[in-house]
Structure 1
Amino acid sequence: ALQRTPLQHEQSDILEQQARDEKVALEKATDQGQYFVFCDTAPLLTAVYSDFVFGDTSLYPRARELHARYAMTLILEPDLPWVADGLQRDGAHVQKPIHLKIAQELRGMGSLHYRVTGSGEARLACARAAVLAGNTHIAATGWRRTI
């Protein structure tokens, strides 16, 4: 991982590496009989970030294509205090606008997504409830994953 905020010319490679990592994780999960793979972060976030920071919208088509493979998305609400992780986060001032852009993209794509709120055990319970609700929706619609 980079120990700094990625530069504009690095965004496409980051997006494609995320896609490769997701594919490997899904193949490993399938081999282990697991149904879900949780990814943090997703290529869509890289596209949103590139748009927000650099005004570069060129990654959206590929990010949307990749995101269409997801059964559901858990969108973590920015309702926790921002804490620097020492890596590549820009700061609390970026948290809300990035979150709003991600939510806008998910709505625009018609992507099945669930908000995760709260802290500690309440946040975990919210995420679990979202996965259960999403799984029910997936079963009802006959959605099938693709790699």
Structure 2
Amino acid sequence: MTRALRVAILGSASAGKTTLAARLARHYGTIWVPEYLREFVDTAGRLPVAADQIHIARTQVAREAAALPAARGYLFCDTTPLMTAVYSRQYFGGIDPELERLARGHGYDHTLVCAPELPWVPDGLHREETDVSGAVTGLLLEELAARGIAYTVVSGPAAERLLKVEQLLGRPATLGG
């Protein structure tokens, strides 16, 4: 049996990463790994500080590793250590060396970037009262370019995003063959 391909789903807050990951998993008959940051905020009852970033990224990677054996064809990953590194640049002025090593050493078979075109909705994960998705997306695209990571931007309504990914990955396999 071949290993499932890991698909990174990146983007700023409220860009539709979670919705896309869940829909893709359903569409392809597989599973997805939710963003650990959400659970961290709920459990800790606070926003993360700089020292939390490596824990968040390590936990995300560990959850991917745990999910990979159960994935069928693809494992859709709602964020990655690279996105944690981008947020570290945005909010803490740089990337911790250990987080940098983790982000550099953890690659994906495909990288999707959700365009920041959906309405921004504060959800408790934000440090500010205004939309900073443009700035975060700019940092993300800089990091992807600097690291030589190929990516596909997905935009538009949910159905259009799904179609764009299907064009990239191919149609889901039919049951029984």
1:79 CA drift (Å): 1.2
1:25 CA drift (Å): 1.3
What residue is the counterpart of 1:143 in the other structure? Answer: none
Q: Partners of 2:67 and 2:115 in 1: how far apart? A: 25
- 1:40 aligned to 2:78? yes
Q: Partners of 1:56 and 1:104 in 2: how far apart? A: 14
Q: Which has the higher contact order (CA 8 A, sep 6+)?
A: 2
What root-mean-square deviation, in Å, do the aligned CA atoms of Structure 1 and Structure 2 show?
1.9
Q: Partners of 1:130 and 1:102 in 2: how far apart? A: 21
What residue is the counterpart of 1:145 in the other structure? Answer: none
TM-score by length of 2: 0.64
Q: 1:58-77 CA deviation, whole Å, 9 max, x = no partner?
A: 222321211x2x10101001
- The range that moved more, 96-105 or 122-131, is 122-131
- 1:88 aligned to 2:128? no
Counterpart code for 1:17: T
Identity %: 34
- 1:27 aligned to 2:69? yes
Counterpart code for 1:39: C
Q: Is the 8 A contact 1:75 1:114 kept in 2?
A: yes
Q: Partners of 2:152 and 2:169 in 1: how far apart? A: 8
- 1:6 aligned to 2:44? no
Q: Is the 8 A contact 1:71 1:112 kept in 2?
A: no
State the number of aligned residues: 126
Q: Is the 8 A contact 2:120 2:131 kept in 1?
A: no
Q: Which has the higher strand share?
A: 2
* Structure 1 residue runs without a partner (length 5+): 133-147
Give runs of aligned pairs for residues 67-82 of structure 1, distance below 5 A: 68=107, 70-82=108-120
Q: Is the 8 A contact 1:116 1:130 kept in 2?
A: no
TM-score by length of 1: 0.76
Q: Partners of 1:55 and 1:48 in 2: how far apart? A: 10
Query: Is the partner of 1:38 in helix, strand or coil?
Result: strand
Q: Which has the higher helix share?
A: 1
